[in-house]
Structure 1
Amino acid sequence: MEAIAKLNNCPTSPRKMRLVVDLIRGERVEKALSILKFTNKEAAIRVEKLLLSAIKNWESKNEGERPEESGLFVKTIMVDGGRQLKRLRPAPQGRGYRIRKRSNHVTLVVDSSVNKEPQTN
């Protein structure tokens, strides 16, 4: 069984968030949590909370199972661009420079690595 967690309109640029996300893609959940805990970036805190939310979603779907025993891992994690806030910064000679404050959407899917028997038709 897989479980999904989403984080929308996170006020971090997608490029900075992808640096953190690439560290945990495909890792086991326990290892991913330890990587995020010791990563020295602001985005790591947000991704860690999102991963904990995905684990809780998985536990609510699979009553009676534990994530450690079932071999839970990060199946997919995607970062997409969100909305941009457009601001003006004063510039010389009466002009204005445009500043784009970016945000992103993160989608995280965790799955158990318990191999099921293939179905034959």
Structure 2
Amino acid sequence: MAEEKLEARAIQKHLRRSARKVRLVLDSVRGDKVHKALKKLEFTRKGAAPEVAKVIKSAAANIRDKFQEERLDNQDLYIKEIYADEGATLKRIQPRAMGRANQIRKRTCHITVVVAKKEEELV
């Protein structure tokens, strides 16, 4: 029988921030251990940092819930994948002079986080 991989994911959909701005935060924590990434996000001065931290905490809780027989702590887990995709764009109109109008694009994104347990390397 195939062995289950010790990994879980969490997805935050329709976050009202552009994916481009969220990716700046995601790049700083990609590949880190979960406890180190959360500490780093606590001191990051970007608006998306609390939202990213919330998704990472959710993914860590999901892996603990999925594999309850394992004793998993944030020091044992690392961020295997983390990325932001573009979501739906809300289109609004801003009136301008002489009957014209400009289009305003209110962008959204989807954040996906996959956490896994770090496997010990045999020497």
Q: Which one of 86, 89, 108 corresponds to residue 103 of structure 1?
A: 108
Supply the distance in 2 between the matched residues of 1:62 and 1:43 (Cα, whole angstroms). 29
2:3 is aligned to none
Q: CA RMSD in A?
A: 1.5
Q: Distance in 2 between matches of 1:21 and 1:66?
A: 23
Residues paired across the two proteins, number: 116
Give the CA deviation at 1:116: 7.8
Paired with 1:116 and 1:92, the residues of 2 have a C-alpha distance of: 66
Percent of pairs with identical residues: 41
Q: Which residue of 2 aligns with 1:15?
A: 20
Aligned to 2:11: 6
Query: Deviation per CA, 1:37-90, whole angstroms, max 9, x where unpaired?
Result: 111112101011111101100111221412246x21000011100000000001
1:9–1:111 Cα change, 3 Å: same
Q: Secondary structure of 2:57's match?
A: helix
Q: Do the aligned residues in 1 keep the contact of 2:60 with 2:74 (CA within 8 Å)?
A: no
For residues 19-98 of structure 1, the aligned pairs below 5 Å read 19-63=24-68, 64-68=70-74, 71-98=76-103
* Aligned AA (2:65): S
Which amino acid in 2 is paired with 1:14?
Answer: A
